[in-house]
């Protein structure tokens, strides 16, 4: 008897081991808001971050990862689609209130934005090309359980096909035991707003010891805010540690590829919203369990002493996740996979960035960055370098800098941001001038490099298009004819024998469905599934179906109840609501 129990136990262990080896990896994103690479693994040990330090020691540190836009909503639209915001019309910050969870589904039409010509544009959900989807929809089709806790901020309301769970209670722990998970946790403690909202919290980093870039004045107000930023990073590290410990307790740590990164550069003045390294370059760490490194990791030739020097853009995240998940990368995606079976062999030569409307101020510039140089093309050189954004003036040091500017007490490096007009082009040597305060566009020795960067910019613009060439109001009216949000048509349910197929006449619409015992009105958190192949619905069950094209209002819900036809032993359909 004991022998049988022992053999049974051994078989269970062997089965578990084989299952673990054959199972695709879980993927966990531990993202944060508004930090630059001001961490010890990047040479800045001001903040004490033992959990991130350990993650970096066990994983890979990426030295050259860049957001596509130096502010959250356009940046996040790029992350979720694998497309440049200028290619899909999501480049203007912020188009709507779709910041958290499923987002606002209706819009009041009240004006909130003012463009460069003084025209008003109401809140709107961007209507992106019909073939473009949230990459998580493909992962769900491929068998991943996808959760997001909680921020979306995609410039459009997240369709219900994007996530299995999308709210403050979303957890990877809810994934069925036989499904790998892809889970995102967004940490807000380092956000720009927390500089003033956490002003009364304990300061764990002394203002006296914080490093200051040359473009910051050295006074007590500035030092206090900089110290607050580092203190918030220490709180972030504690939160990251809690997430990792939960993964370990569940026995999933060595089954999970962990990504840590920020949505763009740091929260302090001259960080986010500026397309310099201070606004675009982000920390990026990936821990890959040993058994997954060969198949799902980075090309070994890219790695040196645990670091990756390759240029990585946020448009590369979506195709990389699909590569790891074993899903074919759609041809339309503008990024490229840097991990997994579909990873590219050759590194990027350039990354590209864009800047358009930031809150109430409209401008337009485009940037190209290689390993050393940053090139900026300004479409409105007549506008000042500094944008007087009201939200940013909640930061005490921003008000302090404006006062010092008025009093004429800023140094040339500090004054550079506040120049009254910009040059049509800018060029910076990021090795010699990492703060990007010395424009060397007129250096004759760099004429060849300048021509190279100009050509790279022109070729990229030609390849991807640039919707910002159209004024925002005109673009909005093309998306929303007559200023009204288009609505997705109701899906159609077709029954042939025991197979049910779903369709929708709206081009590009994704279809979601529920099969339930209940007759009820399902909300967005009801557990909608992605439709991608014919269904079978057991008799006595209710089928709920809805459709949505991104940027459109979702369709009405179609509901049917299936009963057994005793004469043919096939489904017949009793329509409840249609």
pLDDT at 315 (0 to 100): 98
* 238-268 pLDDT tens trace: 999 999 999 999 999 999 999 999 999 999 9
Model confidence band, residue 438 (pLDDT cutoffs 50, 70, 90): very high
* CB neighbour burial string for 51-83, b if at least 16 within 10 angstroms, e if fewer: bbbebbeebbbbbbbbbbbbbbbbbbbbbbbbb
Closest Cα partner for 28 from 174, 201, 146, 179? 146
* Orientation of helix 396-406 relative to helix 220-249, angle to 10°: 150
Average pLDDT, the chain: 93
Residue 1's Cβ-count burial label (10 Å; 0-12, 13-18, 19+) is exposed
pLDDT at 9 (0 to 100): 45
Residue 474, classed as helix, strand or coil, is helix
Mean pLDDT on 5-33: 63
Judge if the upstream peptide bond of residue 150 is cis by omega within 30 degrees of 0: yes
Closest Cα partner for 326 from 81, 173, 148, 141? 141
Percent of the chain with pLDDT over 70: 92
Check pLDDT > 60 for residue 13: no
pLDDT at 361 (0 to 100): 93
Q: Give the separation between CA 95 and CA 86, rounded to whole angstroms.
A: 14
What are the angstrom distances between the C-alpha of 130 and each of 90, 506, 574?
A: 14, 9, 33
Mean pLDDT on 103-109: 76
Model confidence band, residue 113 (pLDDT cutoffs 50, 70, 90): low
CB 515 within 8 A of CB 537: yes
- 521: Cβ–Cβ under 8 A, 6 or more apart, which residues? 557
CB 80 within 8 A of CB 135: yes
| Residue 134 is a catalytic residue | no
- The full set of domain ranges for the chain reads 2-346, 355-481, 486-577
Model confidence band, residue 216 (pLDDT cutoffs 50, 70, 90): very high
Model confidence band, residue 7 (pLDDT cutoffs 50, 70, 90): very low
Q: What is the pTM of this model?
A: 0.93
pLDDT at 108 (0 to 100): 65
pLDDT at 279 (0 to 100): 98
Check pLDDT > 60 for residue 573: no
* 259-300 pLDDT tens trace: 999 999 999 999 999 999 999 999 999 999 999 999 999 999
pLDDT at 576 (0 to 100): 40
pLDDT at 109 (0 to 100): 60
Q: Give the separation between CA 162 and CA 141, rounded to whole angstroms.
A: 10
pLDDT at 115 (0 to 100): 55
Which tokens sit at 487?
């609505």
Q: Give the separation between CA 401 and CA 394, rounded to whole angstroms.
A: 12
- 57: Cβ–Cβ under 8 A, 6 or more apart, which residues? 306
CATH classification for the domain delimited by 486-577, as one of 1.10.3720.10, 3.30.420.40, 2.60.40.10, 2.60.120.10: 2.60.40.10
Residue 137, classed as helix, strand or coil, is helix
Mean pLDDT on 392-399: 98
Q: Give the separation between CA 91 and CA 78, rounded to whole angstroms.
A: 9
Model confidence band, residue 574 (pLDDT cutoffs 50, 70, 90): very low
* 458-499 pLDDT tens trace: 999 999 999 999 999 999 999 999 999 999 999 999 999 889
* 351-379 pLDDT tens trace: 999 999 999 999 999 999 999 999 999 99
* 130-163 pLDDT tens trace: 999 999 999 999 999 999 998 999 999 999 999 9
Residue 256, classed as helix, strand or coil, is strand
CB 7 within 8 A of CB 174: no
- 418: Cβ–Cβ under 8 A, 6 or more apart, which residues? 384, 385, 386, 405, 410
Q: Give the separation between CA 186 and CA 50, rounded to whole angstroms.
A: 20
Q: Give the separation between CA 153 and CA 103, rounded to whole angstroms.
A: 8
Catalytic annotation, pick one of 32, 72, 134, 430: 72
pLDDT at 103 (0 to 100): 87
- The H or E element spanning position 145 is strand 145-149
Check pLDDT > 60 for residue 38: yes
Mean pLDDT on 52-60: 98
What secondary structure letter does DSSP report for 569? T
Q: Give the separation between CA 369 and CA 361, rounded to whole angstroms.
A: 24
* 521-570 pLDDT tens trace: 999 999 999 999 999 999 899 999 999 999 999 999 999 998 765 444 45
pLDDT at 121 (0 to 100): 87
Please spell the DSSP secondary structure of 83-137, one letter per residue. Answer: S-HHHHT--SB-SSSTTBTT--------EEEE-TTS-EEE-------TT---HHH
pLDDT at 220 (0 to 100): 98
CB 172 within 8 A of CB 29: no
Give residue for tokens 């993202």: 31
Radius of gyration of the chain (CA): 25
What secondary structure letter does DSSP report for 535? B
Residue 18, classed as helix, strand or coil, is helix
- 441: Cβ–Cβ under 8 A, 6 or more apart, which residues? 423, 425, 426, 427, 450
Check pLDDT > 60 for residue 572: no
Going by CATH, does the domain composed of 2-346 fall within 2.60.40.60? no
Check pLDDT > 50 for residue 22: yes
Check pLDDT > 60 for residue 507: yes
Check pLDDT > 80 for residue 231: yes
Closest Cα partner for 90 from 151, 135, 154, 34? 154
Sign of CA dihedral 108, 112, 118, 121: negative
């Amino acid at each position: 008897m004991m022998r049988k129990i022992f053999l049974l136990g051994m078989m269970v262990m062997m089965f578990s081991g084989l299952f673990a080896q054959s199972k695709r990896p879980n993927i966990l994103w531990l993202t944060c808001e508004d930090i630059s690479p001001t961490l010890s693994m990047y040479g800045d040990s001001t903040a004490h971050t033992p959990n991130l330090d350990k993650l970096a020691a066990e994983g890979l540190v990426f030295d050259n990862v860049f957001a596509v836009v130096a502010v959250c909503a356009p940046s996040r639209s790029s992350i979720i689609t694998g497309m440049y915001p200028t290619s899909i019309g999501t480049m203007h910050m912020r188009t709507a209130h779709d910041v958290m969870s499923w987002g606002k589904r209706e819009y009041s039409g009240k004006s909130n934005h003012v463009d460069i010509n003084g025209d008003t544009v109401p809140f709107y959900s961007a209507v992106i090309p019909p073939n473009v989807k949230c990459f998580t929809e493909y992962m769900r089709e491929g068998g991943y359980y996808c959760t997001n806790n909680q921020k979306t901020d995609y410039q459009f309301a997240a369709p219900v096909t994007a996530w299995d769970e999308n709210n403050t209670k979303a957890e990877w722990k809810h994934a069925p035991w036989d499904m790998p998970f892809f889970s995102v946790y967004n940490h807000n403690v380092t956000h720009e707003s927390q500089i003033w909202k956490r002003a009364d919290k304990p300061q764990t980093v002394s203002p006296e010891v914080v490093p200051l870039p040359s473009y910051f004045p050295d006074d007590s107000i500035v030092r206090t805010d900089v110290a607050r930023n580092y203190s918030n990073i220490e709180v972030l590290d504690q939160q990251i540690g809690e997430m990792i410990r939960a993964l370990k307790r569940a026995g999933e740590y060595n089954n999970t590829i962990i990504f840590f990164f920020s949505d763009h550069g740091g929260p302090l003045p001259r960080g986010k919203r500026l397309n310099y390294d201070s606004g675009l370059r982000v920390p990026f760490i990936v821990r890959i369990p040993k058994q997954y490194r060969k198949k799902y990791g980075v090309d070994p030739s890219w790695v040196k002493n645990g670091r990756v020097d390759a240029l990585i853009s946020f448009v590369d995240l979506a195709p990389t996740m699909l590569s790891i998940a074993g899903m074919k990368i759609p041809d339309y995606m503008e990024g490229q996979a840097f991990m997994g079976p579909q990873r590219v062999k050759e590194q990027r030569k350039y990354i590209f960035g864009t800047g358009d409307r930031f809150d109430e101020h409209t401008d337009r510039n485009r940037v190209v960055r290689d390993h050393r140089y940053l090139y900026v093309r300004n479409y409105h050189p007549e506008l000042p370098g500094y944008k007087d954004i009201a939200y940013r003036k909640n930061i005490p040091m921003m008000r302090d800098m404006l006062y010092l500017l008025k009093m004429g007490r800023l140094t040339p490096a500090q004054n550079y941001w506040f120049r009254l007009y910009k040059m049509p082009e800018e060029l910076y040597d990021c090795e010699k001038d990492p703060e990007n305060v010395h424009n060397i566009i007129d250096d004759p020795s760099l004429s060849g490099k300048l021509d190279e960067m100009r050509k790279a910019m022109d070729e990229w613009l030609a390849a991807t298009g640039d919707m910002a060439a159209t004024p925002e109001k005109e673009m909005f009216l093309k998306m929303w004819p007559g200023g009204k949000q288009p609505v997705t048509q109701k899906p159609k349910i077709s029954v042939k024998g025991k197979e049910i197929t779903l369709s929708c006449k709206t081009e590009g619409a994704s279809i979601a469905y529920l099969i339930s015992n209940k007759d009820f009105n399902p909300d967005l958190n009801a557990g909608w599934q992605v439709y991608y192949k014919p269904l079978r619905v057991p008799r006595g069950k209710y089928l709920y179906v809805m459709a949505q094209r991104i940027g459109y209002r979702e369709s009405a819900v179609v509901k049917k109840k299936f009963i057994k036809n005793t004469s043919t032993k096939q489904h017949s359909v009793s329509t409840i609501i249609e």
